[in-house]
A and B are shown apart, each in its own frame.
Chain A
Amino acid sequence: MSAKSENLFMVSLKDAAAGGAVALALFGVLIGMKAEVASGLGGQLGIEYRWAAVAIAVAIVFGGRLLLNLFVWKTDKPVTATAKGFLPSAKPLAKLGKYAMPVFLILAVVLPFLLMSAYGSRGSRQYLDLAILVTTYVMLGWGLNIVVGLAGLLDLGYVAFYAVGAYSYALLAQYFGFSFWICLPLAGILAAFWGIILGFPVLRLRGDYLAIVTLAFGEIIRVVLLNWYDFTGGPDGISGIPRPSFFGIEFERGPGGFADTFGLEYNSIHRIIFLYYLILIMALVTNFVTMRLRKLPVGRAWEALREDEIACRSLGINTTHTKLTAFALGAMFGGFAGSFFATRQGFISPESFTFIESAVILAIVVLGGLGSQIGVVIAAVVMIGGFEFFRGLEEYRMLVFGLLMVVIMVWKPRGLISTRMPSITLSGKKAKGISADLVQEGHG
């Protein structure tokens, strides 16, 4: 062993020992000593000691850090450099973005049939439910992408519009007996309306201030839903929300039902498949409208706003209106998704609209790469799909979720797909994507 590598070993060992010491300080109390209401003490707290768990945690940190030091961080030729040869580099990944869209689209369209043939109608139900959930988040991500990714406005209260959409549908159906197809546009309009009402006073704020005010609005709406018992049912929520019909044909057994009308045998999976295609179409409409708008003056103004607001004003762009359109449009798609959520669940309560939902949607947008539509899809599949995949981990999955948010962000601060494609070119298709380093993230 040469002197240099011995030195490396000592340095790594020292560093790992320091890491272990910090871990001991952190975990010694919170893991090692659990304050629990002991049964024998008449409701008083007692301490349950778990030193073995602490030892394991510290050993993991020490060992992990030692290995990383030895083979990755401090060596001249880290293993990751060798491993990079096997991993796809960034360039093909950018190209992947181009072809991923059609592949995802085809996959999404044939998914129910694939699942049905693979698992049968009974077995595929849970996968379809997951697909519906992921697609809902894709739609929410696309909606928020208009606000955060294109216009550069940081919105931490997006879930408020999701809630407005869901409650609009539930209440309209409950009080007026409107069907899903009437409520859907109304819910979107109401959400957009709230977007404008909330957006108008706050849109001159910048950056983090805007973020925190939108967070506050999101919480206000949730607290009101929680406490306005007569109108919203408070914490009990609203149940018995009507299911969507196939343009008037209900999904039920017997004559006049969907199966009967189309000469099929009744199967409860029909409704699930219908719901899947419904959210898929809604999401694709969101995507289509966004991609269209991006190539229109209003979309270009959003992006210009993200780049430099003062320059926009010097060019005669009404920045307040421009921000409001982005905010209202994002809110509208959030509202659509909300009313879909209500009809799928049949039951809603304020618990579904907590801040954590906003954080998850924002994380999907940022992790995917701001402004990138396909990035949102990938991030939603990874985050939501992964989250459900680890259902067996029970309470640990939220912990893993939080850690993943940190790790992915540190690894790729600009998100997975971060190249911006020009909205218009002189030279036709040849134009190259713009590196994320040049693209601003907005200040408002």
Chain B
Amino acid sequence: MSSWETNPVLTIEHLTMRFGGLVAIDDLSFNVGRGDITALIGPNGAGKTTVFNCVTGFYKPTEGRVVMHRTNGEHYLLERMADFQISAKAKVARTFQNIRLFGGMTLLENLMVAQHNPLMLASGYSLAGIFGLATFRKAERQAVEKARYWLEKTALIDRADAPAADLPYGDQRRLEIARAMCSGPELLCLDEPAAGLNPKESGELNTLLQYIRKEHGTSILLIEHDMSVVMEISDHVVVLDYGEKISDGTAAEVKDDPKVIAAYLGVPDEEVDAVEEEVGI
């Protein structure tokens, strides 16, 4: 029995998403193991980002269930929650394929915004904050420390007071991860974190992700095209094609799955049939 079956952090059951007549995801079920790095892969247009949007509440799935199991034993049905509550209560954070930073704000400010909810509470919904009460000042100091920690971990501390839009591309990707981590997630969903990175940056990203998983116990679900990243760091790989799951297992298992090879290399249909016959489906 693999860890994602015995101790999942996220279970997706019979998820279906239709846009008018188009079926983007069709009856998809898989688990994300607690503490695992899970990769969601598949050719372009397979529905990966749609899965993310369903998990993080930006789309309401047509059918199916998405359940978040938090470490404190609470369960959340994500398909019923508003997007902001998924981050605030269910502790699922995400990044975006086409980076969404607060470009006109500094790096530090970006990370402070990510700690909005606890700070809001500490500021007594702004009332205590206006008069600068000590409890709020303390909470703010802690928030700055947390931000400083993540800026150091992502090697961005030197530019803490620069506007986010000024950062080079690779740094923006890391800042987005740092910002997501500042919201204190138990599940971190990364949409193509390595896209557009050079091999060195890509290697640093792997180190960062493994550090997050190891030191903070945060489970990671990521969409990725770069197979070297996937094979190197993933404990569990789920393969989608045309909205359906075609393979699910460890990196090594998936790599040798003929259906995955067929989906990626785009073999003619007859050959797929031949391969399928060979493996017996």
Contact = CB atoms under 8 A, between A and B. Distances in A.
Interface in B171-212: 179-180, 183
Given A307-B105, A312-B113, A313-B83, A296 B93 contact: no
Contacts of B258: none
A431 B161 contact: yes
12 contacts: A293-B130, A298-B129, A310-B58, A310-B96, A315-B84, A315-B180, A317-B117, A318-B84, A425-B108, A425-B160, A438-B103, A438-B163
Contacts of B105: 300, 303-304, 307, 422-423, 434
A106 interface: no
Contacts of A425: 106, 108, 160-161
B135 interface: no
Contacts of B56: 314
B90 to A, nearest CB: 10
A174 interface: no
A300 B129 CA distance: 13
A311 interface: yes
B109 A424 contact: yes
Nearest to B114: A315
Contacts, number: 141
B226 to A, nearest CB: 23
A203 B232 CA distance: 46
A3 B232 CA distance: 71
B28 interface: no
A319 B86 CA distance: 13
A310 B100 contact: yes
A37 B102 CA distance: 60
A265 interface: no
A140 interface: no
B189 to A, nearest CB: 9
Given A297-B129, A311-B102, A314-B180, 9 more contacts: A296-B130, A300-B109, A313-B83, A313-B84, A315-B180, A316-B85, A325-B126, A423-B109, A438-B104
A366 interface: no
B144 interface: yes
Interface string A413-426: 00000001011111
Contact of A316 (B84, B106, B157, B165): B84
A438 B117 contact: no
A345 interface: no
Contacts of A297: 112, 115-116, 119-120, 123, 126, 129
Contacts of A438: 103-104, 163, 165-166
A422 B85 contact: no
Question: Which 9 A-B pairs give the minimum distances between C-beta atoms?
Answer: A439-B104, A316-B88, A316-B87, A307-B102, A297-B119, A311-B100, A296-B129, A438-B165, A431-B161
A289 B126 CA distance: 10
Contacts of B161: 422, 425-427, 430-432
Contact of B144 (A300, A303, A424, A434): A424
Given A301-B116, A315-B113, A426 B104 contact: no
Interface in B111-157: 112-117, 119-120, 123, 125-126, 129-130, 144, 148, 157
Nearest to B95: A314
Given A314-B93, A316-B116, A420 B104 contact: yes
Nearest to A322: B116
B104 A434 contact: yes
B113 A314 contact: no
A208 interface: no
A60 to B, nearest CB: 42
A218 B237 CA distance: 56
Contact of A315 (B57, B116, B129): B116
Contacts of B93: 314-315
- Among B101, B102, B125, the most chain A Cβ lie within 10 Å of the Cβ of B102
A426 B148 contact: yes
A279 to B, nearest CB: 22
Contacts of A301: 113, 116, 120
Contacts of A420: 104
B113 A300 contact: yes
A315 B109 contact: no
- Among A316, A317, A319, A435, the most chain B Cβ lie within 10 Å of the Cβ of A316
A50 interface: no
A152 to B, nearest CB: 10
